[in-house]
Amino acid sequence: MKKIALLLAQGFEEVEAVTPVDYLRRAGIEVQVAGIGGTVLKGAHGLSVGADLGVEDLSEDLDGVVIPGGLPGASNVAASKEAQVLIQVLHRRGALVAAICASPAFVLAPLGILEGKKATCYPGCEGDLTGAEFSTRRVVRDGNVITSRGPGTAAEFSLEIIRYLAGEAKAAEVSGQTLQK
């Protein structure tokens, strides 16, 4: 079974966090929700979500990491040394690194992960997407990196992660279960 971590910090965008967790678990992918700065975190719109463990307790034995956006959520992930190290280790190992909304610009770009890659982000964050070839597509996959625009693309983002980790058939199955098509 594939295993990923979803990084959750105060001010996360709720749809961008909950949708990947739900869709990936439907696909049979183990998701560990890792809290940064606590295990009960409040989203940008007041929804509190409990994490399974703290980011400092994560094993590096993962197939990937997913980083929701939102503000100040993306900035709080970017400020976490534990999150930075985990993301860099997984990326160097060729594991999946997926980020949505402000996180491609505020988390991945400063770490050099988007250097020479096609990527997208929330409108208005393009100036911070240093090193990347910006795309206006809703979801962009370039190698082991998946980026997406924002809350309205969370389902498509989640399905692309499933496609990457578990294949087209599993993505189609979850798409059908969730009435995406």
DSSP 119-178: E--STT-GGG-TTSEE--SSEEEETTEEEE-SGGGHHHHHHHHHHHHH-HHHHHHHHHHT
The single residue listed with the structure tokens 């983002």 is 157
Distance CA 65, CA 168 (A): 20
- Considering the candidates 33, 34, 83, 101, report the single residue annotated as catalytic: 101
Give yes or no: 101 in active site: yes
Catalytic residues: 101
